[in-house]
Amino acid sequence: MEYYGGHEGEEFYFSSNKTYGSTMTKHYHDTFEIYYMREGECSYLIGDGIYDVKSGDIVIIPEGVIHKTNYGKKIHVRLLINGTTGYMPSEVRKILPLIGHLYRNEETRGEIDGIFTAIENEVKRGEDEFTSGALFALTQTLFYIIARNYDKGVKMKGDKGFIADCLRFIQENYSQNIPLTYVADTLAVSAEHLSRTFKKETGFGFNEYVNLVRLRKAEAMLQNETGKTVSEIAYSCGFNDSNYFSVIFKRAYGITPSELRKRK
């Protein structure tokens, strides 16, 4: 089930599905994401952390944060909301760092599941003049429930040993030359072990993830730092060849860096 819409100029997307063992493609986007695991479990890469998500958990992903789910072979049911800024109450946005990425609270599980059921029912009934307002109200209510109760739940961390250290190292040093062998030496593990474990835990190849982080940074710079040339942005994000940067940028976004800047 899917729904695209919006309220007063904002954008909203909702989907729910029941699937058997899949790996979601990695991505980031310019909307926030609320992920509700109704049944099942998965490993969730979010930024520089990896979280074990189980039934009843809520995952909160702000705009622009790289994330990816890795599921096992069991059936899982997940519900997903993506929305632009207006759907998140301003007072909730201020405390997002305190809430964190993973919300787990058995006391509010029934209430949260009821909100998602109401959203599903609203989508099923078909769109009319009240749909966008109803979905807006339900989504804001969901945020208020989480904000009021985040400090009563289980505080979850995304630390997965040396892989979490590796993710943080990449996030902090993406502008430099950071070959796998160098990072492995820094973390005091073998390059082979790092490569194999990184792929297993994150779903990414090491170089694939490094390039994704660099592309994310470059996209933001292209849009916000108009005084810099495309070549300057490429080099400042860790790409040694501006032509190579343009090639992989177009492969990822469907347009060249210059075209993105012109659209902006």
Q: pLDDT by residue (tens digit) across 35-56?
A: 999 999 988 999 888 999 999 9
Pair (149, 191) in one structural domain: no
Tens digits of residue pLDDT in 100-110: 999 999 999 99
Pair (149, 223) in one structural domain: no
90: left (phi over 0), alpha (psi -120 to 50) or beta: alpha
Range in 2-16, 47-61, 65-79 with the lowest mean pLDDT: 65-79
Name the residue among 195, 190, 193, 216 with its Cα closest to residue 206.
195
Cα–Cα dist 45/69, whole Å: 6
Query: Among the three residues 155, 187, 217, which one is the final residue of a domain in this structure?
Result: 155
Specify the CATH number for the domain of residue 238: 1.10.10.60
Pair (142, 174) in one structural domain: no
Query: Among the three residues 155, 180, 198, which one is the final residue of a domain in this structure?
Result: 155
- Average pLDDT taken over every residue of the chain: 91
Neighbours of 193 (CB within 10 A): 12
Pair (127, 182) in one structural domain: no
Cα–Cα dist 100/156, whole Å: 8
Specify the CATH number for the domain of residue 65: 2.60.120.10
Pair (50, 168) in one structural domain: no
Q: What is the mean pLDDT of residues 176-181?
A: 94
List phi, psi (to 5°) of 44. Answer: -125, 115
- Per the structure, the complete domain to which residue 243 belongs is given by 162-263
Pair (16, 142) in one structural domain: yes
Pair (13, 141) in one structural domain: yes
pLDDT value at position 28? 86
> What are the start-end ranges of the E strands in 58-105?
58-61, 67-71, 75-83, 102-104
Predicted confidence (pLDDT) at residue 25 exceeds the cutoff of 80 = no
Q: Which two tokens stand for residue 232?
A: 């300057």
Q: How confident is the model at residue 200 (pLDDT cuts 50, 70, 90)?
A: confident
Pair (170, 146) in one structural domain: no
pLDDT value at position 105? 94
Pair (146, 209) in one structural domain: no
**Cα angle for residues 32, 37, 43 (degrees, 5° grid):** 85
> Could you tell me which residue, 194 or 27, shows the higher pLDDT?
194
Predicted confidence (pLDDT) at residue 151 exceeds the cutoff of 60 = yes
Name the residue among 199, 201, 183 with its Cα closest to residue 191.
183
pLDDT value at position 226? 86
> Could you tell me which residue, 21 or 127, shows the higher pLDDT?
127
Pair (148, 239) in one structural domain: no
Predicted confidence (pLDDT) at residue 24 exceeds the cutoff of 60 = no
Cα–Cα dist 61/82, whole Å: 9
Pair (193, 70) in one structural domain: no
pLDDT value at position 264? 63
What are the helix (H) ranges across 203-256? Answer: 206-224, 230-236, 242-253
pLDDT value at position 263? 78
Pair (80, 117) in one structural domain: yes
Query: Among the three residues 93, 128, 155, which one is the final residue of a domain in this structure?
Result: 155
- Count the domains in the chain: 2
Range in 66-75, 80-89, 155-164, 228-237 with the lowest mean pLDDT: 155-164
